[in-house]
Amino acid sequence: MVVKLTQEQADFLKTFVCNDRAFHYISRYGWNHYLKDGNEKCYEKGEKEPFTLDEKGKMLDAVINGYEVIVPKFKFYNFSDKTRFAPLYYAGEEELTSYKEFAKEVEENSEEYVALKLLGFIKEKV
């Protein structure tokens, strides 16, 4: 089964040339060893790591079975001129809806995403 990873986690795995070294560095992480990537960069104490100890099993599973990168999706909304408190969600071209479940999910950095940000819509991660 393919594992879903964040872009940062996928970039970490791409630093390795071969899977055996990735498996070695990830599996020993936390057992009195700091995390290292394929370029021998050591993530020491206080430095932000691409994944936590809780996600170590998920990362090993990604090395073995493969992975895909999660593309963040957002729903956009704005407030009505009449009520000022009821959100109106973007539901597609020239469409707004008051129902969140009918709102269109927009991928990050798409044309719609950029246009809605420029128009002042508020984004909400799905």
8 closest CA partner among 56, 71, 41, 50:
50
Question: pLDDT averaged over consecutive 10-residue blocks of the chain (126 residues)?
Answer: 89 89 87 82 82 87 91 82 76 84 86 85 83
pLDDT of residue 68: 92
pLDDT of residue 18: 85
73 closest CA partner among 104, 43, 94, 45:
104
Q: What angle do CA 115, 117, 9 make, to 5 degrees?
A: 105
pLDDT of residue 84: 65
Q: What region, left, alpha or beta, does residue 40 occupy, with left being phi > 0 and alpha being psi -120 to 50 degrees?
A: left
Domain ranges of the chain: 3-69, 73-125
Q: Give the global pTM.
A: 0.63
Distance CA 123, CA 126 (A): 9
